[in-house]
Amino acid sequence: MYAESSKAAKSCFGWTPSMRRILFVDDHPIYRDGVRQVLESSGPDVQVFTADGASSALRLLTEVHEIDLCLTDQRLLDGSGADLARRVRELYPSIAVGLLCAEPTLTLANEMRAIGAVACLSKDRDTSALCDAIDTLYSGGSIFDDTARTSEGERSLSLRRREILVFASQGLLDKQISDKMGITESTVRNHWQHIFSQLNVNNRTEAVTKALRQGLI
């Protein structure tokens, strides 16, 4: 069935709710609860509702108002995630939809694009990359993890980490970057470690150089 949890504030898909309210649909209870915990621990403004299938998701949407993002697995016990996303778009045009699935193929990604979805995310994303993807979506972006369209670095490098690279390319130090982005300096340093790993580099200079060469910034 479905569960819920709470938290509070930020901008979203064209309007400003008091919280980020996300519905996540997946028929595996351990993974479903894990995603809920990860997303809710990413900030005080995130509230995640969960459902185990298409029918329970649609039922929940009649009972819970102001959900602004519906993420669903593609393979559900009572249908496909793409079909559910399409139905949600028809019934609730203000709700953004996307997939979080094991195989975000080009065909599936294009199907989601065609219905106006904002995401087709891979379950291969680690917890940090998943939270960064949610940040990107709530900043008005879209993400499609189909390998035929993007390089590995571009798929995994979040909008926030690209911003850090842009500021670094302008000569800003970590403290200046943290002030610009409204985050702590330690958070910036943590992002750098992920950037180095994702781009397979050893320092800031190499990271900026490679990002520029690959057209990531």
For 91-102, b where at least 16 C-beta lie within 10 A, e where not — what string? Answer: ebeebbbbbbbe
Q: Boundaries of CATH 3.40.50.2300 in the chain?
A: 20-150
Q: What is the mean pLDDT of residues 191-213?
A: 86
Residue bearing the bigger pLDDT, 123 or 26: 26
Residue bearing the bigger pLDDT, 197 or 157: 197
Supply φ then ψ for residue 123, to 5 degrees.
Answer: -70, -5
Lowest mean pLDDT among 146-155, 182-191, 194-203: 146-155
CATH 3.40.50.2300 fits 20-150, yes or no: yes
- Fold observed for domain 159-213: Arc Repressor Mutant, subunit A (1.10.10)
pLDDT at 211 over 90: no
Q: Does pTM top 0.85 for this prediction?
A: no
Q: Provide the pLDDT for residue 1.
A: 43
Residue type, 89: R
Q: Boundaries of CATH 1.10.10.10 in the chain?
A: 159-213
Whole-angstrom distance, CA of residue 110 vs CA of residue 105? 9
Q: Provide the pLDDT for residue 147.
A: 52
